[in-house]
């Protein structure tokens, strides 16, 4: 809550950015290895991602609410209350994780079918999703521990969690996916897409263990252990109520992405694969602004708790500056080396159609980078100030009010084809950012 805001934001953001980038290695590793089998198996991982996200969105919402309220309690000097919220965050997330794991597993065939997957895409998607549902409890614990650490400003510890598990996933993937592990020619388990999911779950289990150890190591702020792990109805209810807007926003976003995938699959599996490949590349750079937004949530939360509103305004301005600079660098790199990056996933000689579709989408994804940066920064602002409903409006509105209707329109009433999908991606983010700026200025978000 003291010191130069730019330096503090940079110090807190850097490990979170690094942690986020490492976390994307889960998907990148799965994608790179599975692309060696076929583009359909690669596409299955991205095609099912919105469904996985749907089933963890409530626990993510609770964790984000936890970061906000715990950081505010710490800022107000109320360690006892912060500890109570931290322990109830773990209990609530774990319980929901178990419930959603069971529901997701048994609904998997119906959900994959409703999204329009057929043939090999259906088979691989069903396998990948069912295995992933078994890890929802692990995901819930991971988000809880990450929220508790971030609320205390201990972003280096969350980096350690991501670094170890990300590295393990990269190493384990080929052993579980292939019959013979590439490069070293030793026998693998030949599990294909199921192996990629199993490797990810095992890696996340290690991450959860590391997170718990990191929390236990430092008892100066919060006491998270069996002794203090007691369910309190009022605390859990407050957490849940605070999480509802974010959870609804994220659930709606997940459903929106599922709808997008259902629309995209109507253009063929090659378009699904190309869409997935470019998103893997652009999402890697998005982790920078997501890290900045997450650091903002903690910083603004603590400063709001201490009623340092002018300092909170400066943090927001610094975050926008950092987001702008990093976006410019990212756009320059992607413009300079698009072919090199795409060839990591697809051979233009073997799958020329997939490659050409991906190249077309790549330039729209590049244009999207600065708007996604602002999207993540304003999400961090609204979450840090406890204005979760505006965060929900952003997540829900950009998909259900703009992107999905636009794609449905151009698909049914124009001859734009895939071009309409690419335009919708940029347009929805531009309009959402305009809304966020409008709300911040007219609702005096940083003046309470």
Structural domain contains residue 59: yes
Q: Tally Cβ neighbours within 10 Å of residue 128.
A: 29
* Alpha-carbon distances of 128 from 125, 135, 320, rounded to whole Å: 5, 11, 37
Q: Is the pLDDT of residue 227 over 80?
A: no
- Residue 312 contacts by C-beta under 8 Å, 6 or more apart in sequence? 299, 300, 303, 304, 384, 385, 446
Structural domain contains residue 207: yes
How many domains does the chain divide into? 1
Structural domain contains residue 293: yes
Q: What is the pLDDT of residues 28-43, one digit of tens each?
A: 777 888 888 888 998 8
Structural domain contains residue 205: yes
Structural domain contains residue 447: no
Q: What is the pLDDT of residues 228-284, one digit of tens each?
A: 678 888 888 888 888 888 788 788 888 888 899 899 998 998 999 999 889 988 888
pTM passes above 0.85: no
Structural domain contains residue 448: no
Cα(111)–Cα(98) distance, integer angstroms: 19
The residue range of the domain holding 325 is 5-442
Share of the chain above pLDDT 90, in %: 42
Structural domain contains residue 111: yes
**Highest averaged pLDDT of the listed ranges 64-73, 160-169, 185-194:** 185-194
Q: What is the pLDDT of residues 275-322, one digit of tens each?
A: 988 998 888 888 899 999 888 888 888 887 777 888 888 999 999 999
Q: Tally Cβ neighbours within 10 Å of residue 361.
A: 21
Angle between helices 193-217 and 39-47 (to 10 degrees): 40
| Residue 3 burial (10 A CB sphere; 0-12, 13-18, 19+) | exposed
Radius of gyration of the chain (CA): 21
């Amino acid at each position: 809550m003291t010191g130069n805001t730019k330096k503090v934001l940079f110090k807190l953001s850097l490990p979170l950015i690094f942690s986020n980038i490492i976390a994307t290695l889960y998907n990148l590793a799965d994608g790179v290895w599975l692309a060696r089998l076929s583009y359909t198996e690669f596409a299955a991982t991205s095609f099912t991602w919105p469904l996985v996200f749907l089933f963890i969105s409530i626990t993510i919402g609770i964790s984000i609410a936890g970061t906000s309220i715990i950081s505010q309690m710490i800022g107000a000097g109320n360690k006892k209350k912060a500890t109570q919220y931290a322990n109830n965050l773990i209990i609530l997330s774990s319980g929901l994780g178990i419930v959603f794991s069971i529901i997701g597993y048994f609904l998997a065939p119906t959900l994959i079918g409703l999204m329009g997957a057929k043939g090999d895409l259906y088979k691989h998607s069903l396998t990948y999703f069912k295995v992933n549902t078994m890890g929802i409890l692990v995901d819930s614990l991971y988000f809880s521990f990450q929220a508790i650490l971030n609320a205390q400003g201990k972003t280096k510890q969350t980096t350690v969690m991501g670094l170890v598990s990300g590295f393990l996933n990269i190493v384990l993937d080929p052993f579980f996916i292939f019959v013979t592990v590439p490069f070293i020619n030793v026998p693998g388990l030949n599990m294909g897409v199921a192996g990629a999911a199993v490797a990810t779950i095992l890696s996340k289990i290690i991450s959860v263990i590391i997170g718990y150890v990191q929390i236990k190591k430092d008892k100066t702020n919060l006491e998270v252990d069996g002794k203090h792990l007691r369910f309190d109805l009022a605390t859990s209810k407050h957490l849940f109520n605070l999480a509802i807007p974010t959870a609804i926003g994220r659930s709606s976003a997940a459903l929106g992405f599922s709808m997008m995938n259902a629309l995209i699959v109507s253009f063929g599996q090659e378009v699904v694969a190309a869409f997935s490949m470019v998103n893997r590349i652009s999402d890697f750079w998005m982790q920078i602004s997501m890290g900045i937004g997450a650091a903002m949530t903690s910083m603004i939360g603590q400063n709001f708790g201490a009623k340092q509103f002018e300092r909170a305004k400066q943090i927001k301005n610094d975050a926008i500056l950092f987001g702008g600079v990093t976006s410019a660098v990212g756009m320059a790199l992607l413009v300079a080396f698009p072919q090199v990056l795409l060839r990591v996933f697809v051979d233009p000689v073997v799958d020329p159609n997939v490659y050409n579709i991906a190249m077309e989408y790549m330039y729209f994804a590049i244009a999207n980078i600065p708007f996604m940066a602002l999207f993540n920064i304003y999400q961090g602002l609204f979450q840090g100030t406890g204005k979760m409903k505006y965060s929900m409006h952003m997540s829900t509105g950009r998909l259900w009010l703009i992107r999905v209707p636009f794609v449905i329109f151009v698909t049914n009433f124009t001859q734009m084809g895939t071009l309409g999908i690419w335009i919708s991606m940029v347009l929805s983010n531009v309009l959402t950012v305009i809304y966020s700026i409008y709300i911040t200025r007219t609702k005096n978000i940083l003046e309470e």
